[in-house]
Structure 1
Amino acid sequence: MKLVSTFLIGATIVFIAINLYLFFTNKTYRKSTFSSALFLKLVLVMFSMLVGFAVIYYLLSLQDLILVQSLSSMKPIEITFLTLLYFSGETLVSVGYGDMLPVGPARFFAILESLLGILLPTAYFMKSLDLSKK
């Protein structure tokens, strides 16, 4: 069973890679191009934001409680920089998993980070597809 599972994971990774390749090489749109420099810039900006927000959460944690397991119990999450990187990452690239909830001023920064995590990749794709008017 483990061999089948490993094979299916590998096949899924290949499927995803093929789809990404087709997305970036498909010239359906006129003037659509993939810019590796622009993509690298997006990756670096997203990584910088991930680390930057983790630092903000760390500094906020020095002042007050910022992460809990649930709002009803208010059981605090142990604060380590790796935990804060994880929280920052899940906030930046999704709406969170629900295993950690921000409280206090961390809520504002989590909303801001989520907003940037949605807008930056969207702006990248608009730029790479050259759909925006000049």
Structure 2
Amino acid sequence: MFWIGQLAIVVIMIMGFITLCQPKSPGTPYLSVRHLWILTCVYLQMLIGFGFLYMLYHWNGHAVLQQLGSTPPEPTLDDLWTMFYFSATTLFSLGYGDFVPIGIGRLIAVIESLIGYIIPAALVVRTVLDWELEKKEP
């Protein structure tokens, strides 16, 4: 069940990122409320997806996070909010330092922070490509 959950979370996050990279519809502005909405949804999807991924590993007995040098606590449902918080601080920056990834959490945090930097770049590249394509059309 652990691997099925992990695969489902990763597939959903990939689908969200692919949505961001799709070309715009003809006749729509390059930057619009729709683009902002898609960007917001992709960020939320990544934040929630990585939060659940951290939680999935935590519930499976893997050490994922450590708070200010203390030992990782036993998994509870309240940890889900901690995982979402850590996911948000990792996705939007490199964290505050109040929680430190350990074990497999380090690899997940590196991937998440990389995606956090790639998402805005993907939007800019998609917009420039659409602009160039429309400029070439008569």
Same fold, TM exceeding 0.5?
yes
Deviation, 1:39, is 1.8
Deviation, 1:74, is 4.9
Show the counterpart of 1:116: 115
1:67 aligns with 2:65: yes
Deviation, 1:106, is 1.0
> Aligned to 2:38, what secondary structure does the other structure show?
helix
TM norm structure 1: 0.65
Unaligned runs of 5+ in 2: 1-28, 134-138
Q: Which runs of 4+ in 1 moved over 6 A?
A: none
Show the counterpart of 2:80: 81
- The alignment yields a C-alpha RMSD, in angstroms, of 2.4
Show the counterpart of 1:47: 44
Q: Distance in 1 between matches of 2:73 and 2:127?
A: 40
Q: Which amino acid aligns with 2:67?
A: Q
Query: What per-residue deviation string (whole Å, max 9, x for no partner) do you get for residues 94-132 of structure 1?
Result: 011111111111111111100000001121133335598
Unaligned runs of 5+ in 1: 1-31
> Aligned to 1:101, what secondary structure does the other structure show?
strand
TM norm structure 2: 0.63
- Give the paired residue count: 101
